[in-house]
Amino acid sequence: MQTIKGTESTVISDTPSQSSAFSYKRLNNWTGWLLFAVALFTYSSTVERTASFWDCGEFIACAYKLQVPHPPGAPFFLLTGRLFSLLALGDVTQVAYWVNMMSVLASAFSILFLFWTITMLARKLINKQFNELTQAEIWTVIGSGAVGALAYTFSDTFWFSAVEAEVYGVSSFFTAIVVWAAFRWELIEDEAAANRWLIFIAYLIGLSIGVHLLNLVTLPAMALIYYFKKSPKITLWGGLIAFGVGMVILGIINSGIIPGLPSAAFAVERFFVNNFGLPYTSGIIIFTIIFIGALIYGIIWSARKNRPILNTALLGLAFVLIGYASYIQVLIRSDFNTPINENNPSDVVNFVSYLKREQYGNRSLSYGPLFFSRPVDQKKGAPQYEKRDGQYKIFDYAPEYIYDGDKQMLFPRIYSNQPGHPQLYSQMLNIPLDAQGQPTRKVTMGDNLQFFFQYQLGHMYWRYLMWNFAGRAGDQEGSGYLLPWTNDDGVPDLIKNNKARDNFYMLPFLLGLFGIVIQYFRRPKDLLIVGMLFFFTGIALQIFLNSPPSEPRERDYIYVGSFYFFAIWIGLGVVALVDGLAGYLKNEKMRVGLVAGLCLLVPVMMGAKSWDNHDRSNRYHSVDFAKNLLNSCAPNAILFVGGDNDTFPLWYAQEVEGFRTDVRVCNLSLLGTEWYIQQMKRKTYESEALPISLEFAQFNKGKNDVIPFYEIPAVKNGINLKEYIGLVKQGNQAIQVPLTTGEMTNILPSQTFFLPVDKAQVQKLGFVPAKLLPMLKDTLVWNYGKQDIYKPDLVMLDMIATNNWKRPIYFSTTLGQSNYLNLKDHMQLEGYAYRLMPVQVPSASDGFVNSDVMYNNMMKKTFWREMNNPDSYYDDTYRGSPVISARIAFLRLADQLMREGKNAQAKEVLNHSLQVIPDKSIPYDQISTNYIRILLEVGDTKTAQQIADVVAMRADQSLTYIKKTGGGSSDANFDLYNLQTIVNAFRETKNEALAKKYDALFQKHLNALG
């Protein structure tokens, strides 16, 4: 029977009730479950009903059909998500909701265990055994747990993750239960029972690996809990050794088990296959038998020899491996070659690469090059293996680049040479760059550390912490936090009325500081443990991630564990206030009631203020946007798209709802990988294999990653694209030059491509409009430009050459300009996508509109669920690409209709746009401002003036505020552009009086801003 240990006894200030221990336990349990119910109600009321943007669409699709998402995968998350998806009872439109509900439930359980963790730590602050607590002290402990748990319930970052199918809600649950179990283990005196809790913790850690690796960073703090309990005498060196042991365990799991065991298995596999001629997987089977056998023998031997520590350690390892075994799902499902099968980890070679996240590359942490460094040499790195002729053979070596020592630094923070990043470093640190991108002054460690403290720790961590516990200025990219004295006077309405603008007056933050102070004086060892957990899940993560100067989105969700541990201090702040007011308010019960009641108002305020910007119950447009993009394509199309926010909703729509599975979505971010190209070369659902003629040898890892432009005079005037692809396939020396290493590499010998067109076949296919048939030529000729060909571009060019116009090829309007291969003047806009055409329209640098096809697509085939609902919350992600793409499409269609003299239809298109995406739900933007001229041209002056008045009023507010606060020039340019566009619209349509009205406002701000 397990017993609970108390802490050091103190003088009891009041006579305790004989049943206080029972009352405390019952109240503690019931309050915990009550807070669980509050969190469950909150999150289930605000949960997203479909797939959110970013990774959610991918995770839901992969959970529904047990497919393989991006590395390192989340197999336990997917297995659990699959179970929740069954609750949809066959209704595919409800699958996303139920997978989202998994995060809801896990997050509510996180609140439950957070409450119990806080009450355990609060009782230790009071320093009494359970049966010694007075009623007032019981309520102090319960109140502290409730305040801390509710503060975390309504914190911005955790709430965001709790209502969508991302791994962070479930990961937080594992963090919460592991930390609770560790503090619970600390109270157990019975050795056998305590060891069972350690094994339970090991199993939870193993399971958490199949969700997210965040839970592993709690291990050093777990080691300190073990040391503080087991050691009769606490010393500095003992603590350091315990911390070191925790770090070693972390390293063993993170490097020795997760990628290490598969790597060791592959070494054995390679030995037996290559040396003894055994079939594939035989070495893995032998390794598995030996390893498991050795582990079982060790467990039995340690038990027989009465070695409890060794036995517990080996059992813990076994249970970590049992949890880690969820990764078998990755191997099994990848072997079935599912439609989503990232990295194809179906064999041990790819599986190790998948676990190591090799496709994302490495970031230097301790010593490495700076952003302006260029490689001066390279050497062979790790060998790359492939299966060939019944063996594992080396086909290449990963390159290891050597840099000039003068351009490297310890603890490199300013390292990224990605496009645009050097310029951002230059602006942030005032480092001038020359034409070659080299700094014109010496870059010092001071610059390096300035970026670390100001940007990485300040902007990318501290700002997020303050978002959660001080208040958030808004949801625009890069928004700061609010302070108690922040004054909204003069703040533009768009900023002031932003639903994400919530000021908590730093009250949660101050409570957290009070909690830190009392824990420092009362329980410094507990402060060290919680502080270490806070550090490792926050600042240490930022040091490890080494953030570049720009990210695709806000990254606060990464640090949700750190905010969890700050919430513990918020709860302990209640104990600090009760204790601090003892000298002013002698009546203990009144003091506890007053403090607990007032402190509970803090999370209540957080919840009330944050509800509107976390309520996703009526938000559907991430999926509707994907459907609109798919419906912009003709049947059996090939659709090129870009990043995660384009691709993952499309995967969800096709994989889960079965929508337009005839369209093959081709992600250009993945098209540079050999496994993805192979997948594109097979049939999926209704889509036949893509017309890719290149063989595996031409696009294998490291092959044709970049084909440099190197003009050859003989083909200067152009090269046949089909013949060029054929030469690449042959490895023909006609398009090769030697490298400094002596190896030959393919080149692009001309900036001009031409592609023969079978006019008769094209006319027979009937996709070229009659008015464009005169522009149909025997040969398509275009200038590719003096630029290198990257592997995704090479594969696209291969498809264009091989397809022979048999399948429609589309390019999403959300792509960057470089992704269009300089073919925009051969592209027909049909909605959210351009269709490649065998005709060229002169001066159509941004493509040309087929008004008939586009009108049908935009007016009859688009979805706009709840987009006109002002109560629905659409954050910066929705106001960005999805809305901009829609408004541009409506604008270009209306403009083309007006040019064709179809004014009534043009007016109908713009009015439809204003109806489905109204200003009341999605405020007017730069694109909306361009509606004004067309509305005036088609005679809708009333609507035009209404838009102009709203945009001008907001520009006036914004520019006045910028002048007052010294805001950014980019914001000012945006507003000045809007005003100038309004002026030009009224001038061009001969509305001079109104033009003068808006021009006066424009000139006023133009002069004021200098």
Secondary structure (DSSP) of 684-706: BTTBPPP-----HHHHSTTSSSE
H or E segment and range at residue 587? none
Mean pLDDT, range 665-686, rounded to an integer: 94
Q: What share of the chain is helix, strand, coil (3-state, %, to 5)?
A: 60, 10, 30
Q: In terms of DSSP bridges, do strands 502-503 and 391-403 run parallel, antiparallel, or are they unpaired?
A: unpaired
Write the CB contacts of 20 (distance below 8 Å, at least 6 apart in sequence).
130, 131, 132, 133, 134, 135, 138
Residue whose entry in the numeric block shows the structure tokens 């509970």 = 600
> For residue 205, what pLDDT band results from cuts at 50, 70 and 90?
very high
Q: pLDDT over 70 for what percent of the chain? A: 97
> For residue 16, what pLDDT band results from cuts at 50, 70 and 90?
very low
Neighbours of 917 (CB within 10 A): 22
Q: What's the pLDDT tens digit per position in 884-922?
A: 999 999 999 999 999 999 999 999 999 999 999 999 999
Distance from C-alpha of 813 to C-alpha of 640, rounded to nearest angstrom: 10
Alpha-carbon dihedral 548, 549, 552, 553, rounded to 10 degrees? 100
What was the pLDDT predicted at 582? 84
Instruction: Work out the angle at residue 129's Cα, subtended by the Cα atoms of residues 123 and 132, and round it to the nearest 5 degrees.
Output: 105
Distance from C-alpha of 486 to C-alpha of 505, rounded to nearest angstrom: 9
Q: Cβ(791)–Cβ(671) under 8 Å?
A: yes
Q: What's the pLDDT tens digit per position in 852-883?
A: 999 999 999 999 999 999 999 999 889 888 99
Distance from C-alpha of 512 to C-alpha of 770, rounded to nearest angstrom: 71
Phi, psi angles (nearest 5°) of residue 862: -110, 155
Secondary structure (DSSP) of 352-393: HHHHTTGGG----SSEEE-TT--EEEEEEEEEEEEEETTEEE
Least Cα distance to 184 among 232, 142, 176 occurs for: 176
Distance from C-alpha of 109 to C-alpha of 356, rounded to nearest angstrom: 31
Whether 13 has a pLDDT exceeding 60, the answer reads no
At 585, the amino acid letter reads: L
Write the CB contacts of 557 (distance below 8 Å, at least 6 apart in sequence).
157, 160, 161, 166, 168
Q: Cβ(83)–Cβ(77) under 8 Å?
A: no
List strand residue ranges (DSSP E) for 674-751, in order: 706-707, 719-720, 736-738, 744-746
Least Cα distance to 80 among 434, 329, 314 occurs for: 329
Which tokens hold the place of 840?
């060229």
Whether 15 has a pLDDT exceeding 80, the answer reads no
Whether 6 has a pLDDT exceeding 60, the answer reads no
What was the pLDDT predicted at 738? 82
Whether 976 has a pLDDT exceeding 80, the answer reads yes
Distance from C-alpha of 438 to C-alpha of 420, rounded to nearest angstrom: 14
Mean pLDDT, range 564-568, rounded to an integer: 97
- By residue count, the chain amounts to 1010
What was the pLDDT predicted at 355? 87
739: Cα within 13 Å, side-chain hemisphere: 10
Give the residue, 361 or 260, on which the prediction is more confident.
260
Residue whose entry in the numeric block shows the structure tokens 């094209």 = 762
What are the distances in angstroms from CA 341 to CA 62, 206, 348, 593? 9, 24, 15, 57
Give the residue, 349 or 507, on which the prediction is more confident.
507
Residue 124 exposed, middle or buried by CB count within 10 Å (0-12, 13-18, 19+)? buried
Residue 273 is given by DSSP the state H
Q: What's the pLDDT tens digit per position in 725-742?
A: 999 999 888 888 887 666
Residue whose entry in the numeric block shows the structure tokens 């040019």 = 899
Phi, psi angles (nearest 5°) of residue 346: -85, -10
What was the pLDDT predicted at 3? 43
What are the distances in angstroms from CA 720 to CA 789, 798, 823? 15, 12, 16
Write the CB contacts of 973 (distance below 8 Å, at least 6 apart in sequence).
none
Q: Cβ(430)–Cβ(441) under 8 Å?
A: no
Neighbours of 950 (CB within 10 A): 15
Neighbours of 342 (CB within 10 A): 22
Which tokens hold the place of 4?
């609970």
What was the pLDDT predicted at 5? 45
To the nearest whole number, what is the mean pLDDT of the chain? 91
Q: What's the pLDDT tens digit per position in 795-848?
A: 999 999 999 999 999 999 999 888 999 999 999 999 999 999 999 888 888 999
Which tokens hold the place of 579?
């204790």
Alpha-carbon dihedral 250, 251, 257, 261, rounded to 10 degrees? 180
Whether 948 has a pLDDT exceeding 60, the answer reads yes
What was the pLDDT predicted at 921? 93
Secondary structure (DSSP) of 38-82: HHHHHHHHH--SS--TTTHHHHHHHHHHT-B-STT--HHHHHHHH
**0.85 cut: is pTM over it?**
yes
Residue whose entry in the numeric block shows the structure tokens 């993170």 = 254
Neighbours of 233 (CB within 10 A): 5
Q: What's the pLDDT tens digit per position in 409-426?
A: 999 999 998 888 999 999
Asked if omega into 308 is within 30° of 0 (cis), the reply is: no
Mean pLDDT, range 665-676, rounded to an integer: 93
Q: Cβ(192)–Cβ(236) under 8 Å?
A: no
Instruction: Work out the angle at residue 577's Cα, subtended by the Cα atoms of residues 574 and 580, and round it to the nearest 5 degrees.
Output: 150
Q: Cβ(185)–Cβ(79) under 8 Å?
A: no
What was the pLDDT predicted at 436? 84
Cα dihedral across residues 545, 550, 552, 554: positive or negative: positive
Whether 170 has a pLDDT exceeding 90, the answer reads yes
User: Hey, is 272 helix, strand or coil?
Assistant: helix
Whether 473 has a pLDDT exceeding 50, the answer reads yes
